[in-house]
Amino acid sequence: MKKFIVSFLTLTLFAVNVMAQCDVPGTVTATVRLVRKPSNLLKGQFSVAANTKISFAKGNLQYKASPAGWQFAANQYDIIGSDNNNIASDYTGWIDLFGFGTSGHDDKYPYMSSTTDSDYPSSDIAGTDYDWGEKNYTADVEDGYRVLTADEWTYLMSERTNASNLRGLATVNGVKGLLLLPDNWHNPGVTFNHNDASYSDSYTSEQWDLLEASGAVFLPAAGSRSGNSTTLTEGVGYYWTGTVGKCLWFSNSAIQVNYTGMSASNGLSVRLVQTL
């Protein structure tokens, strides 16, 4: 039996693997498998469970209601800020603070501004159509993305090898946020102090370019939203997990995974990942 394996990447970003097996001369049985290859993943690899690694999307998730569409922020440190106050079904600008599970599935629209928690999903959304990465992918947001669960965030932040030395609060290009380093990080010549208690580590855009090229991820402190009112408290960030009632929270004094102080109706940041 002879096996011939051919692998190629099409211009539409699909990888097609073809395996042909010839049992009888002149007879070929072929199996074709299509695999989506997202083009907006960062290079760093992060352990989120004992046998699971992920890479992060290149920036926070953004949405525009009219005309409808999704995209990733062009830079990891980009935030939209007070323009989130304009959230509405006919708003023509971008927003980046979303109520829990507002992927567009089952009338849970990304532009929802209701402050009633029961209007939002009441159970875990990871792997469901309420997950922003599972349901909607257009333009810069391809199929195959998802949110991390609370347990996965806990593993990444506290349980992977050398976890406490691979995270820290920092200021990048003038924006405060949380800096995460990949499992097998190699220092590109930029000092990193893994500080959980202040944003004193500050990086210029040139220094950040070196860190990003080494696999670093930056989650900007974009604040939160309630209804049509955005709270941009200096240096406070909230990121939804796929676990109901829990988010990642950080401020100028602490980092807390599994934070339960936000309601489902609050608009928080979303950073998608891809399982490797």
Helix, strand, or coil (residue 63)? strand
62 and 27 in a common domain: no
CA-closest candidate to residue 150, choices 240, 69, 70: 240
Cα radius of gyration (the chain): 20
3-state helix, strand, coil in the chain (%, to 5): 15, 35, 50
Q: Is the pLDDT of residue 218 over 90?
A: yes
Give the largest CA-CA distance in the chain: 71
Of 170, 176, 173, 181, the C-alpha closest to 56 is 181
Q: Does 174 lie in the same domain as 273?
A: yes
Question: Is the pLDDT reported for residue 271 higher than 90?
Answer: yes
Cβ neighbours, 10 Å, residue 170? 25
Q: Are residues 90 and 209 in the same domain?
A: yes
In this structure, the answer to whether residues 24 and 95 fall within a common structural domain is no
Looking at the structure, tell me whether residues 26 and 89 fall in a common domain: no
**Same domain assignment for residues 239 and 257:** yes
Q: Does one domain contain both 77 and 31?
A: no
Where is average pLDDT lowest: 12-26, 59-73, 130-144, 185-199? 12-26
Residues 93, 26 share a domain: no
**Do 10 and 85 belong to one domain?**
no
Average pLDDT, the chain: 87
- Total tally of structural domains belonging to the chain: 2
Domain match, 141 and 6 both:
no
- Domain extent, residue 87, equals 40-276
Lowest mean pLDDT among 26-30, 106-110, 186-190, 247-251: 26-30
- Domain co-membership, 185 together with 206: yes
The reply to whether 28 and 52 lie within a common domain is no
Whether the CB-CB separation of 169 and 157 falls below 8 Å is answered with no
pLDDT, tens digit (0-9, with 9 covering 90-100), for 229-259: 999 877 999 999 999 999 999 999 889 999 9
Cis link prior to 220 (omega < 30° from 0)?
A: no
Q: Render pLDDT for 127-167 as a digit per residue (tens, 0 to 9).
A: 899 999 987 666 566 678 999 999 999 999 999 999 999 99
* Spatial separation of the C-alpha atoms in residues 115 and 131, rounded to whole Å: 20
